[in-house]
């Protein structure tokens, strides 16, 4: 389980790195006339993702869960793979990637990298990580709660993004 906790802690640092990138990219987008949408759902998103990481650390310890190789190893592979997909998305979008919904008028949709296959690959990474990371440590309550709440939040987020993209010339 020490390796699992190390992975969760590394994921916490990865998320902090994302926030640094997102802040820089938000400034870039806003300086070019970017318009932010969906500010209301952002705080619940931060709480949900923080809760995911906290649950991954707390649930296995409090519930005295042990590592189950038949579940943990495939979930570890999926969790690490989701990180790879996430950073591929970040690299592909470049300055346009953000944790917020900010659309710069006049920029075309990105259709390279993972976006050539589907519209929201970053959300695929979020969904996979949301169940895989906790299940790697046998934190099935965290996986279930995050998955249900994230499904609701992604519905709100996707509608917000679609409205923002349609409203921007």
CATH topology for 2-167 is 1.20.120
pLDDT at 169: 65
Give the helix/strand (H/E) hosting 118. none
Mean pLDDT score, 103-113: 95
Positive or negative torsion for Cα 69, 127, 58, 23: positive
Q: List all residues 6 or more positions away from 100 whose beta carbon is below 8 Å from its beta carbon.
A: 22, 26, 36, 38, 39, 42
**In residues, how long is the chain?**
169
pLDDT single digits (tens) 47-77: 999 999 999 999 999 999 999 999 999 999 9
Please report where in the chains the tokens 């709660």 appear, as a residue.
145
**pTM of the model as a whole:** 0.93
Domain extent listing, the chain = 2-167
Q: List all residues 6 or more positions away from 39 whose beta carbon is below 8 Å from its beta carbon.
A: 100
Mean pLDDT score, 7-15: 97
Residue among 10, 154, 168 nearest 96 (CA)? 168
């Amino acid at each position: 389980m020490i390796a699992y906790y190390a992975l969760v802690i590394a994921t916490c640092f990865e998320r902090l790195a994302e926030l640094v990138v997102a802040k820089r990219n938000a400034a870039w987008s806003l300086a070019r006339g970017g318009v932010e949408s969906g500010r209301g759902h952002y705080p619940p998103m931060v709480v949900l993702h923080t809760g995911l990481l906290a649950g991954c650390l707390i649930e296995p310890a409090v519930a005295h869960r042990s590592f189950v190789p038949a579940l943990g190893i495939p979930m570890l592979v999926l969790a690490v793979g989701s990180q790879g997909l996430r950073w591929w998305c970040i690299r592909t979008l470049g300055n346009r990637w953000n944790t917020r919904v900010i659309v710069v008028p006049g920029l075309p949709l990105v259709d390279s990298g993972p976006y050539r296959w589907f519209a929201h690959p970053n959300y695929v990474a979020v969904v996979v990580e949301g169940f895989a990371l906790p299940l790697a440590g046998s934190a099935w309550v965290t996986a279930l709660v995050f998955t249900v709440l994230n499904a609701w939040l992604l519905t709100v987020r996707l509608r917000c993004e679609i409205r923002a993209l349609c409203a921007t010339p």
